[in-house]
Chains A and B, each alone.
Chain A
Amino acid sequence: MDIRRFFGAAPGATKTKPVQKTASSAKEKGGVKKSSQTKRKAAVIYDSDSDEEVPPVKQQKTAAAKSAKPNKTEVKSPPSRKQFDPKPVLKPTSAADFFGAASPTHRVSRTTVVAKKRSGHDAGKANDVDSEADKELHDDEAFMETLAELDKSRKKSATMSISPDNKKKENGTHEKKPTKTRVDQTSPKKTREKSPTSSASPKKASPQKSKYFDKTEDQKMKKKIKLESQDKDEAKPDQPKKAKKPSPVKTKTEKTPSPKKSPAKDSNQDAEKKPARGAYRAYLTREGPRALGTKEIPQGEENCLGGLTFVLTGILESMERHEAKELVERYGGKVTSSVSKRTSYVVVGRDAGESKLDKVSQLGLKTLDEDGLLELVKTLPGKPYDLPPEATSKSKKSPPKKSPNKPEPAATTRKPVASSSRVESPKKPAASLTTTDSPEPSLLWVDKYKPQTTKAIIGQQGDRSNVKKLLKWLQAWPKHHSGRQVKEDGSGFRAALLSGPPGVGKTTAATLCCQELGFTYIELNASDTRSKRSLQEEVSEALTTRSIVGFQKQEDAGTMRQAVIMDEVDGMAGNEDRGGIAELINLIKHTKVPIVCMCNDRSHQKMRSLVNYCFDLRFQRPRVEQIRAAMMSMAFKEGLKIPPPALNQIIEATNHDVRQVIHQLYMWSVQDKALTFDQAKEASKQAQKDIKQGPFEVTRKVFSSGEDTARMTIMDKSDLFFNDYSMMPLFVQENYPNVLPNAARNNMKKQLSLLSQTADSICDGDLVDKLIRSRQSWGLLPTQAIYASVLPGEYMRGHLSGMISFPGWLGQFSKQNRLRRLLQELHMHMHLRTSCTKKSLQEDYLDPLRRRILNLLVTQETEGVPEAVELLSAYDLMREDYDGMLELTEFKGRPNLAEKVNSKVKSAFTRAYNKEAHMQPYSTSAAPKKKRGGAANSMDMEDGGEGGALEESDEEKEDPKLDPMIKMKKPTAAKGKSDSEKGKGRGKGRGKKSS
């Protein structure tokens, strides 16, 4: 761990770096020897694996340990970290084993670095004090470098030539620790020689190491260098975090300290946009390369552009921009998007950006054309890769060596340990024990490299991190909620809710936190039934009992050290888990132990109630650099060679899902241990995790003619459709007329014919859709994808102006259904009087009927009201039907006749209608469904009412006021009229005519 620190300081000075590298590698070598030497002294050492582990029990001291101590106290601070699988397997090992194991190297190298620093080699030592983040970046690099160097040196040593480096290093170390240097000098050969002979399995070696560390740790403690160790403890939490986060800048980036690519690009584009909209248009539509693919791309030497930074501007003659970029990157160069002092070359093409050219001339940079670039590739000598490729090259060689020689496997095994301790400090000690050379094949990497401490969780090392919060919360839990105590205000939540996307380490965080704080926990996940009842039974039972383990440990406080982890609470659904959430909330309210819930989407409907009762911790996806650091070390441990840019791509492709990245790496490791840039690129394309896209973006993609879509295969395009196969056709159909197709620029005729073609294709899609839906032949979906999305996209490919609008079809469809229901009701109401179908009702009847009524109301105003009412009731229509009728017959943009009706007249009309009782042959909505009989009854009553005895109609047991079918009627002048009218109306339908 400390190594990192030291290295961190050193790389800060970019200039000195190369020197450093070699030096450090040498040192490492020496270190190996030294440590091995020291160990050798101890004839038999019990050791567990990683340096982090500090099994408290071990007390065996060896002289070696002592000698090593001074360094370690400084360096070894990590060991002081708590490690939770504290059961190192104690195995007697021979000294020979030690030599196989290389882990001590790191420590030594660290010291050497320190020595160097002190000696003043580094001008950049001032950087020591650099911001921590900075340090971290460098640490990571340094780590990689050391690894690479280590490999180199080992190779050399294998050939039995003791590198001068070693000696140098030794010198370096000399200053600090004379004792060690002495050891070193002798050691180099021995390590090599012995390791082959040592038949001890790598497994054994690794345990030793940890032992070794343990001892040192113990010693430390004994010597009571508490201050130091404390310091380290404090430092620890920070370090791992840093190590992971900022790794992105590799050696390359260091050399060319340009900003991150993507942002730069954006800004660049922005700049291009600014001038004018027209210019932007021009930019968008500018031609592609004229002589695409005409030039032969030369085969350059590996990494021949290493360390060079390029800026591409304008359009090259024979290459697409991304091709050129790929070319540069393949040979180790770096492409940035904005020009700066560090830019080595500017490749200028046609229509180059003016601002860029200005800057180039300002800074006096070298410019190239395309040919120049190719020439450069052809002629420049290859350089060794700075780091990651180095590691890869080494591991390439290692496989053959492995079988004959022991040392190689030992080395590889060692390294993992070291790297894990450094970068991922977390990785399982247990795992690393087994890691050695023959990793358990059954163990997935995901499990194998599962973080073992909270600090090891990727992206969660900060003080403000969720894990820290969770730890604190858990720690404080018993205090806040012990016994019957009412919960205090403040942090009084009884449960925590961890939410975040999959693969960021929520479950790991929860379990580790519990482990670290000594909680025993019960984990329930979606594989358990979590209905109300089972929750009650299982969980509450569990919560009220004590674990035997607690008693064993003689912790009387063990009662409080329990926790419940409810994983995947958003998976509580369906019939099995019915009431689960509610019960969970109930549990939370009364729980005596902390409950940690986890879900992916905290804004989900199902989570809504739960959120209020939980301490909310939201996990974000770790950044690329954070993941990469951990992945690099893991890949290294597994002997997988993968260049960092490729890894970056993989990480991005998997949408920052750590678990997914590991799986991908695992998959490749099975196929091939060495991944070239091209392979990785290809593979990362495959690994592209499907990211959910909204229909709006997808629609834009369907039609857009951008660079990304230009490279899409037909499958990619049809995949767009499958983002949502029910919505995409609608979206495409809604928006296609808004596209300005490139194929028809300023040619309306062409555009219209394209439109027509598109519309035809969409129709075809609709036909297929009908087939699919009516016959359930879902196998036709891909066909529909072609018709409904791919073809329209092809025809209309171009510029989509304006916003993507939501399909109007949905709204129109529901409106249509509403009006159809209205029409059906009207039809039903009028059915006795008319003979027509619904269709002709709408086409023929309604309009004249409406005109007639409106005419009455408009021309005669109140005079016409009685007649209008009469007309309505002649067709058994209700007042509401009149409104429905108006709605059915009014069209947008047509003169609205109904508006001409005076509001007074309208209300008079309503009043007049309500005043009279209208007998409808159908049941009205409010009344219970009545058949003709009921209607007849009410008619009787009504007739009685007309006779003046309305209130006496109790015989029917119906309160006329409540019955919507009966309107209160006063004897009015209208009576006679309505009477006669009724008679007429009933002529057909009703036999009964009273009064």
Chain B
Amino acid sequence: MSLWVDKYRPTSLNKLSYHTEQAAQLKRLVQNGDFPHLLVFGPSGAGKKTRITCLLRELYGAGVEKLRIEHHNFTTPSKKKIEITTIASNYHIEVCPSDAGVQDRVVVQELIKMVAQAQQLDSSTQREFKVVLLTEVDRLTKDAQHALRRTMEKYVTTCRLILCCESTSKVIPAIRSRCLGVRVPAPSNQQICSILQTVCKKEGLTLPPELANRIADKSGRNLRRAILMLEACKVQQYPFRPDQQVVEADWEVFLRETANAIVSQQSPRRLLEVRGRLYELLTHCIPPDVIIRGLLTELIDSCDGQLKAEVTQWAAYYEHRLQLGSKSIYHLEAFVAKFMSIYKKFLDEGMAAMML
């Protein structure tokens, strides 16, 4: 009795419903029992993890689905204790080293080495290598990535790495070159619609295609989000109606309200209010780049052509600096202030033009 998104997740490469050629390729890749390190990348909700689990299953059989949670403790050179939780089966281990924050290098060095150094006892019945699945690789520090390079080469006989990330831009070239890149593009709206329909069919529901389309739209080609939205819609109202409102997450609504607040008034006082709302979003672990993107999409609606370009450019500028800096609220606020300034000028000029 889990959510649909988990309930109907395909478990084998054959059952994948889109990017089927890629699935076939992957299958071929592992058919001879070996494969290089993989770097799987693609947007959130495109099915990276699903594909990886399918691959593992293809490789090791059903045993790979028996998972357990393990806690590992490490001591950094500076005597700081860190604890990392991993998911492991007998054949693979899944780690998110970036959970350790800036100490992720230690995790990479210790944990992966530990796993990689252990030889399989009985290689006849099993593969002779284990798989280490590293998630959120793009959040790894440079140090950790460099620590990874050597490990990847040295222990290639006993372990394969599968790196999973959203974007390769933050993966150092040295690692990219050591891996076979597998890009998992987001499904198209059509694909999402058809999947939503199949899910509904399995649940015994009827889904009006219009609603499916709108959900796909709203989800931003994020399949996971689409299915979760579908379920939320079902919770809200069933039977479906084509004009039914698609339920959004609270944080999205909150973000939109924030953007509206910016547009409706430009003043220092409002800036302070917006700051409070931005803090609220940040504390709830909404990543700042998501916030700035959300703000931009909303703000742009109230701008005319030229202003759109300018605002977008500024958003990119501040998003970039946000990555460079440490206190994201500063940059978000600077963006808001910049927008307020530009927008106010724009409005005033508009007024002046009207008067003329």
Provide the residues of chain B in CB contact with A914, threshold 8 Å.
none
Partner of B66, one of A815, A852, A989: A989
Q: How far is the CB of B342 from chain A (nearest CB, A)?
A: 8
Beta-carbon contacts of A244-279 to B below 8 Å, as 1s and 0s?
A: 000000000000000000000000000000000000
Q: Which residues of B contact A988 (CB under 8 A)?
A: 65-67
CB distance from A886 to the nearest CB of B (A): 11
Task: Say whether B53 contacts A845, CB under 8 Å.
Answer: no
Cross-chain contact of B249 among A755, A839, A843, A984 (Cβ < 8 A): A843
Encode A958-995 as 1/0 by CB contact (under 8 A) with B: 00000000000000000000000100100011110000
User: Could you mark each residue 731-758 of chain A with 1 if its beta carbon is under 8 Å from any beta carbon of chain B, else 0?
Assistant: 0010001100000000011011101101
What is the CB-to-nearest-CB distance from A87 to chain B, in angstroms, rounded to a whole number?
A: 61
Say which residue of B285, B331, B340 sits within 8 Å of A755 (CB atoms). Answer: B340
Q: Roughly how many angstroms separate A932 CA and B67 CA in the complex, as a whole number? A: 9
| Contact indicator per residue, chain A 915-944, by CB within 8 Å of chain B (1) or not (0) | 000000111000001011000000000000
Residues of chain A within 8 A of B281, CB atoms compared: 891
A residues less than 8 Å from B222 (CB atoms): 844
Determine if B348 and A749 form an interchain contact, defined as CB atoms under 8 angstroms apart.
yes
Q: Does B310 contact A (CB under 8 A)?
A: no
Of residues A752, A831, A852, A931, which shows the largest number of chain B Cβ atoms within 10 Å of its Cβ? A752
A816-B337 in contact (CB<8A): no
Within 8 A of B (CB), among A862-920: 867, 870-871, 874-875, 888-894
Q: At the interface, yes or no: B81 with Cβ under 8 Å from chain A? A: no
Query: Hey, what's the 0/1 contact readout for A648-672 against B, CB within 8 Å counting as 1?
Result: 0000000000000000000000000
Q: Which of B265-320 contact A (CB under 8 A)?
A: 266-269, 271-272, 275, 277, 279-287, 290, 318
Given A847-B251, A888-B284, A894-B250, A770:B326 Cβ within 8 A:
yes
Return the contact of A929 from the options B71, B247, B321, B325 (Cβ within 8 A).
B71
Interface status of B257 (Cβ within 8 A of chain A): yes
- How far is it, in angstroms, between the C-alpha of A755 and the C-alpha of B65 when the chains are bound? 56
Could you tell me the distance in whole angstroms from the C-beta of B240 to the nearest C-beta in chain A? 16
Give Cα A922 to B68, complex, Å.
8
Q: Give Cα A756 to B266, complex, Å.
A: 12
Give Cα distance in the complex from A828 to B96, angstroms. Answer: 11
**Contact with A770, one of B254, B325, B344 (Cβ below 8 angstroms):** B325
Residue B214 is within 8 A (CB to CB) of chain A in the complex: no
Q: Is B149 part of the binding interface, using a Cβ–Cβ cutoff of 8 Å?
A: no
Set of chain A residues within 8 Å of B345, measured between Cβ atoms:
749, 753
Residues of B within 8 A of A758 (CB): 337
Q: Nearest chain A CB to B264's CB is how many angstroms away? A: 14
Check if A756 sits within 8 Å of B334, measured CB to CB: yes
Tell me if A751 and B268 are in contact (CB < 8 A): yes
Whole-angstrom distance between the alpha carbons of A988 and B99 in the complex?
A: 25
The answer to whether A837 and B257 have CB atoms under 8 Å apart is: no
CB pair B232–A852 under 8 Å, yes or no, is: yes
User: Measured between C-beta atoms, what is the minimum distance from B291 to chain A in Å?
Assistant: 11
Do B337 and A759 touch across chains, with their CB atoms under 8 A apart? yes
Once A888-B284, A931-B70 are accepted as A-B contacts, the answer to whether A844 and B45 lie under 8 Å apart by CB is yes
B229 interface contact, C-beta 8 A: yes
Contact call B344/A752, Cβ cutoff below 8 A: yes
Would A763 and B284 count as touching, CB distance under 8 A? Answer: no
Cβ of B340 and Cβ of A752 under 8 Å apart? yes
CB of B179, distance to nearest CB on chain A (Å): 19
Residues of B within 8 A of A949 (CB): none
CA distance A842 to B285 in the complex (A): 7
- A843-B251 contact in complex given A755-B337, A756-B338, A893-B257, C-beta closer than 8 Å: yes
- Report the minimal beta-carbon distance from B71 to chain A, rounded to whole angstroms: 6
A737 near B268 with CB under 8 A, answer: yes
- The answer to whether the Cβ of A15 comes within 8 Å of any Cβ in the partner chain is no
The interface size bin for chain A is 35 or more
Q: How many A-B residue pairs have CB under 8 A?
A: 211
Q: Which residue of B66, B85, B231, B326 is within 8 Å of A990 (Cβ)?
A: B66
* B285 & A820 in contact (Cβ 8 Å cutoff): yes
Decide: A824 and B254 in contact? CB cutoff 8 A: no
| A773 B326 Cβ-Cβ under 8 A | yes
Chain A residues near B70 (CB-CB < 8 A)? 931-932
Chain A residues whose C-beta falls within 8 Å of the C-beta of B235 in the assembled complex: 848, 851-852, 855
For the complex, give the distance between the alpha carbons of A820 and B348 in Å.
42
Does B1 lie within 8 Å of A874, measured CB to CB? yes
Chain B CB within 10 Å — which of A773, A845, A888 has the most?
A845
Residue among A737, A842, A922 with max Cβ neighbours from chain B (10 Å)? A737
Q: By DSSP majority rule, is chain A's interface helix, strand, loop, or mixed?
A: helix
B23 to chain A, nearest CB (A): 16
- Name the A residues within 8 Å of B3 (CB-CB): 845, 848-849, 852
A836 to B338, CA, bound (A): 35
Beta-carbon contacts of B3-30 to A below 8 Å, as 1s and 0s? 1001001000000000000000000000
Q: How far is the CA of A72 from the CA of B108 in the complex (A)?
A: 91
Q: How many residues of B contact A (CB 8 A)?
A: 75
- B225 touches which of A749, A809, A844 (Cβ 8 Å): A844
Distance in Å: Cβ of B195 to nearest Cβ of chain A: 15
Q: Tell me which of B85, B257, B271, B340 contacts A828 (CB under 8 A).
A: B85
Query: A394-429: which residues lie under 8 A (CB-CB) from chain B?
Result: none
Which one, A738, A756, A770, A832, contacts B67 given CB within 8 A? Answer: A832
Cβ–Cβ < 8 Å partners of B337 in chain A: 752, 755-756, 758-759
Task: Tell me if B354 counts as interface (CB < 8 A to partner A).
Answer: no
Whole-angstrom distance between the alpha carbons of A870 and B1 in the complex?
7
Q: Does B333 contact A (CB under 8 A)?
A: yes
A226 at the interface (CB under 8 A from B): no
Asked if B250 and A848 make an inter-chain contact with CB atoms under 8 angstroms apart, the answer reads no
Q: Is the CB of A737 within 8 A of B266?
A: no
User: A894–B44 contact, CB under 8 A?
Assistant: no
* CB proximity of A195 to chain B, nearest CB, Å: 75
Give the residue name and chain of the B residue nearest to A737 (CB): B268
**Given that A766-B325, A842-B284 are contacting pairs, would A848 and B87 also be in contact in the complex, using a CB cutoff of 8 Å?**
no
B69 touches A932 (CB 8 A): yes
CB distance from A735 to the nearest CB of B (A): 10
Q: Are A891 and B280 in contact (CB under 8 A)?
A: yes
Tell whether B2 is near chain A: CB-to-CB under 8 Å: yes
Chain B contacts for A852, CB-based, 8 A? 3, 231-232, 235
Measured CB to CB, the nearest residue on chain A to B248 is A847
Complex interface: chain B residues within 8 A of A815 (CB): 283
Contact status B67-A816, CB under 8 Å: no
Q: Known contacts being A752-B266, A819-B284, is A921 close to B68, with CB within 8 Å?
A: yes
| Residues in B neighbouring A894, C-beta threshold 8 A | 250, 253-254
- Measured between alpha carbons, how far is A755 from B266 in the docked complex, in Å? 11
A874 to B232, CA, bound (A): 17
Q: Does A361 contact B (CB under 8 A)?
A: no
Is A566 an interface residue, CB under 8 A from the partner? no
How far in angstroms is the closest Cβ of chain A from B269?
8
In the complex, the answer to whether B327 meets A889 with C-beta atoms within 8 Å is: no
The answer to whether B284 touches A891, judged by C-beta atoms less than 8 angstroms apart, is: yes
Q: Is A616 an interface residue (CB 8 A)?
A: no
A563 interface contact, C-beta 8 A: no
Mask, A104-146, CB within 8 Å of B = 1, is 0000000000000000000000000000000000000000000
Asked if A766 contacts B331 (CB within 8 A), the reply is yes
Partner of A848 from B53, B231, B321, B324 at Cβ < 8 Å = B231
A733 and B250 CA atoms in complex are apart in Å by 28
Interface positions of B from 33 to 87, Cβ below 8 Å from A: 44-45, 49-50, 53, 65-71, 85, 87
* Listed A/B pairs (30) with beta-carbon separation below 8 Å: A737-B271, A737-B272, A738-B268, A749-B341, A752-B340, A755-B268, A755-B271, A756-B334, A756-B337, A758-B337, A760-B338, A763-B321, A766-B327, A767-B324, A767-B325, A816-B282, A831-B85, A838-B285, A840-B44, A842-B251, A848-B229, A851-B232, A870-B1, A889-B249, A889-B250, A889-B251, A889-B284, A921-B69, A932-B70, A988-B67
For the complex with contacts A770-B326, A831-B85, A894-B250, 11 further pairs of A-B residues with Cβ separation under 8 Å are A733-B330, A756-B340, A770-B325, A831-B69, A835-B50, A837-B44, A839-B285, A844-B44, A871-B1, A921-B69, A988-B65
Instruction: Report, nearest first, the 8 A-B pairs whose CB atoms are least far apart.
Output: A932-B68, A759-B334, A847-B249, A835-B49, A756-B341, A759-B337, A756-B337, A766-B325
